[in-house]
């Protein structure tokens, strides 16, 4: 039992040292923070893409991991508006409290995550032409423990989930599919 405790203590000390090193490297700019950056083109006008994707009540239709969402402040949606979502990934649910930091139709929608995982998200909608739109999605989430190590570990998992969400959004908007 003593050997197991020693092994756990050494592992924990190593994780703390790695966490501190990563924090320093990120702070000095030697490495980038573990953010997710995705882009997709959708064959639909920017106004239609914006109208659907920025409709907070409809976001669970295309964001698979978002199970429920509610606005905590009265309409209209604007910077400072607060919302809460129930998110479930790999069967684990968490509450994601968010604040809208930018809401500029039909171009930009940004949030700050203030729940257990903190960070920020940004969706930019750019008209390629009258019938095609590009969405650029940046998401940065810091887990509650070992935020930097966790950020790098979770990045490929969350990137795959968010990429799937964007593809689902594209199918809905291009194919006229219903979300359910």
pLDDT in tens, 83-110: 999 998 878 888 999 999 999 999 999 9
pLDDT score of 180 more than 60 = no
Q: What is the pLDDT of residues 101-153, one digit of tens each?
A: 999 999 999 999 998 889 999 999 999 999 999 999 999 999 888 888 888 98
96's CB contacts (< 8 A; 6+ apart) are 84, 85, 86, 87, 113, 115, 116, 117
35-175 folds as Alpha-D-Glucose-1,6-Bisphosphate; Chain A, domain 4 (3.30.530)
Report the alpha-carbon distance of residue 78 to residue 128 in Å, rounded: 26
Convert the pLDDT of each residue in 20-48 to its tens digit.
887 788 888 888 889 999 999 999 999 99
* Global confidence as pTM: 0.87
Cα four-point dihedral sign 54, 158, 90, 119:
negative
Q: Domain locations in the chain?
A: 1-32, 35-175
């Amino acid at each position: 039992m003593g050997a197991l405790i020693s092994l756990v203590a050494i592992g924990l000390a190593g994780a703390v040292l790695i966490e501190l090193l990563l924090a320093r490297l990120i702070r000095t700019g030697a490495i980038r923070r573990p953010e997710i950056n995705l882009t997709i083109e959708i064959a639909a006008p920017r106004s239609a893409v914006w109208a659907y994707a920025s409709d907070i009540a409809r976001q669970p239709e295309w964001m698979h991991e978002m199970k429920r969402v509610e606005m905590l402040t009265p309409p209209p949606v604007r910077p400072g508006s607060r919302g809460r979502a129930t998110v479930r990934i790999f069967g684990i649910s968490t509450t994601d409290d968010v604040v809208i930091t930018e809401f500029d139709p039909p171009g930009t929608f940004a949030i700050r995550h203030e729940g257990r995982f903190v960070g920020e998200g940004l969706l930019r909608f750019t008209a390629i032409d009258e019938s095609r739109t590009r969405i650029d999605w940046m998401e940065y989430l810091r887990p509650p423990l070992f935020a930097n190590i966790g950020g790098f570990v979770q990045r490929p998992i969350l990137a795959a989930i968010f990429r799937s969400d964007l593809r689902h959004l594209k199918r809905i908007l291009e194919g006229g599919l219903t979300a359910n």
